[in-house]
Amino acid sequence: MAKIVFIGAGSFGFTRTLVRDILTFPAMRDAELALVDIDKERLAFAKKACEKIVAAGNYPAVVTATLDRKQALKGADAVLVTILCGETSVWQHDILIPKKYGVDTCVGDTRGPSGIFRALRTIPTMLDICRDMERLCPNAIMLNYTNPMAMLCHAMQRRSSLKISGLCHSVQGTAHMLAKWAGVAPDQVDYVCAGLNHLAWYLKIEHKGRDLYPRIRKAVMNDKRVYNEEQVRNEMFLALGYYVTESSGHNSEYNWWFRKRPDLIKRYCTSGTGWNPGAYAYILDYYRQRGSTWKREVRKWLSKETPVDLARGLEYAASIINAKLGGDLFMFNGNVPNAGLVTNLPEGACVEVPVVASRQGFAPMHVGPLPAPCVPLTELTARIEMMAVEGALSGDPTLVYQAIAHDPLTAAVLSLAEIRKMVNEMFRKNRAYLPQFRKIA
């Protein structure tokens, strides 16, 4: 019987989706699905959801739930992490304070001032999870879904010997979108995608050996519907020649081009038709609104009237765990240390590259250099993330300030003195969550 642990199981949508996928594999039909959360009510909802899936598929799996992480981790084969450190009331300051100084944020969970402070709050908990795993299930793999993906994985991979990879559905999601634009079936598309999480590039995308980029470029340039679906990413593609992963709203934060002036935000970040064009505080507002509705939505899904879809989805996790248990090898895009994999990104940085999962663990693929137009932004971002992680691990607020001072959007809007003032205010708001920093102003 395999044992699969979900830390942050109260993340209802993720847990429900991953459990459904896991149970489609014969090797995991009778797995123990061990759910962990610090919120008793969310944990109870997650347990009921998993039990509903088990019953609908008539699986011999067992669902357990506990508030005690250590109890759940004993003997685990795989650990999936979907956590949030700090309430929405804490997260909102990551968005509100930069806005006060002129840095307009859409999501704020991956990089920039907001993403870096989320990393500072989350890294200690992720390292605690690693230490528990090293004692209780040292041979297990960890699959992390928590953002900021690259910084969290980089911190864990520096401090732990565990087999760790981060997973993000933007790679396969964007590949499906591009296939649709090119007029071909997504399952017939082959691609090589590499770079950083949320900032990886499709170095090659083909259909039966034929380059799809000319078709994609034609669609972006000539079809307003296609262009409007991803305005920021389409502008980046037309300028740089390669398509980037993750939504326009996210990517609008990661560079110098789209959010430094109100007119540019209005032009590129509010009128797109994709799921997240880039409006200010888009995800924060979603969470605020959902705070009053999520229980109703969960109860509706748990009701007898709501059918359970048992078909496997597009997430990687189940196929990776199946490979770890001795099933078919599985290639995915994962977040791993750069050991000569992407030759023009910093050694040791957390990169997102093709990886093969097997019973032995993870075997990342050598990619070589990124194309020249993709390097300046990607390399700078990698170095900023490494600097921020070093600040988090050493408790050095100066390194955090220096990392944020180099952030493309922040530097396009603010002076060094203004950045220092903003960072000091963010530290003060987060003081209770950052005990590792002893010299906060």
Q: Catalytic residues, which ones? A: 169, 254
The residue type of 426 is M
Pairwise CA distance, residues 18 & 318, whole Å: 7
Tokens of 259: 């959010």
Pairwise CA distance, residues 281 & 296, whole Å: 24
Tokens of 379: 């390399």
Whether 323 and 27 have beta carbons less than 8 Å apart is answered as no
Provide the phi-psi class of 183: left if phi over 0, else alpha when psi is between -120 and 50, else beta: left
Beta-carbon contacts of 368 under 8 Å, excluding residues fewer than 6 positions away, are: 342, 343
Report long-range pairs for 10-15 (Cβ below 8 Å, ≥24 apart): 10/37, 10/39, 10/42, 10/43, 10/45, 10/46, 11/82, 11/83, 11/84, 12/42, 12/45, 12/46, 12/49, 12/294, 12/298, 14/82, 14/145, 15/46, 15/49, 15/50, 15/82
Tokens of 10: 């109260």
Provide the greatest CA pair distance for the chain. 62
